[in-house]
A = this chain, B = another copy of it.
Amino acid sequence: MAASKTKPAAEEPNRRADIVRAAGRLFHEKGYSATTIRDIAHAVGMGSGSPFYHFKTKHDMLRAVVLEGIGAIHQAVAKAANSGKAPRATFEAMLRAHLDQLLGEQGRDFAAALLHESRHLDPAEQAELVALKDRYEVMWQKALRDLKGAGLIADDSHVARLFLLGALNWTVQWYRPEGPRTVEQIARQLASFVIGKPQRP
């Protein structure tokens, strides 16, 4: 991705990536419309017009943020899905991967922007995004099918997947890093909530 020049030095400062990170954080905190170019520029220590050297429009920054978000989640969950473990272990690993992106320090701003700000994209871009989301959700559908095949859940329908992803994505609204629960614990509890059986009285 950063290999257009023959200068891939160890730790070159990538200002474009800095802008995407800052934009992601600000879009998450204040929302796309309430974030100004000046906010973003200030956050990376630039003058107010300089970000436009790297991006044509503010809109393009949102696109970069959102694509970064779904890309990272997809990659993380795909890795967990293909780990070759038993259905329940695979499922839990997928939950953990998704939650890591959603709540962890690296991914949360991109993920939150993906979930809440992508409506500001124009229709064509939204359609593109829907396609990416569909590809992503196929992995969950398979995971639920495998759980049902193993007799661990009763319902692997379309709606069941929507409920599951709802419970997952809603964690953004209430999870606090300084709170009592770790991401690991939440993943396990959600697995138990869905599967229901292996749980102490």
Contact across chains for B190 and A120 when beta carbons are under 8 A apart? no
Within 8 A of B (CB), among A149-166: 154-155, 157, 159-160, 162-166
Q: What residues on B are CB-neighbors of A171 within 8 Å?
A: 162, 166
| Copies assembled | 2
Q: Hey, which chain B residues are within 8 Å of A157, CB to CB?
A: 189
A175 vs chain B, min Cβ distance (A)? 9
The A interface is mostly helix, strand or loop, or mixed, namely helix
Residues of B contacting A189 in the complex (Cβ-Cβ under 8 angstroms): 157, 159-160, 163
**Given contacts A159-B189, A166-B169, A186-B159, A154 and B196 within 8 Å (CB-CB):** yes
Which one of A160, A181, A193 has the highest number of Cβ atoms from chain B below 10 Å of its Cβ?
Answer: A193
Q: Does A67 contact B (CB under 8 A)?
A: no
| CB-based contact B120/A34 at 8 Å | yes
Is the Cβ of A170 less than 8 Å from the Cβ of B166?
yes
A136 to chain B, nearest CB (A): 14
Contacts known (A154-B196, A159-B189); A31 close to B170, Cβ less than 8 A: no
A174 on the B face (CB < 8 A): yes
Please name all residues of chain B whose beta carbon is closer than 8 Å to the beta carbon of A170 when the two chains form the complex. Answer: 162-163, 165-167, 169-170
Chain B contacts of A199 at CB under 8 A?
A: 154-155
- Residue pairs across A and B with Cβ atoms less than 8 A apart, 16 shown, are A31-B33, A31-B119, A34-B120, A154-B196, A155-B192, A155-B196, A157-B189, A162-B167, A164-B167, A166-B168, A166-B169, A166-B170, A166-B171, A166-B173, A169-B170, A170-B170
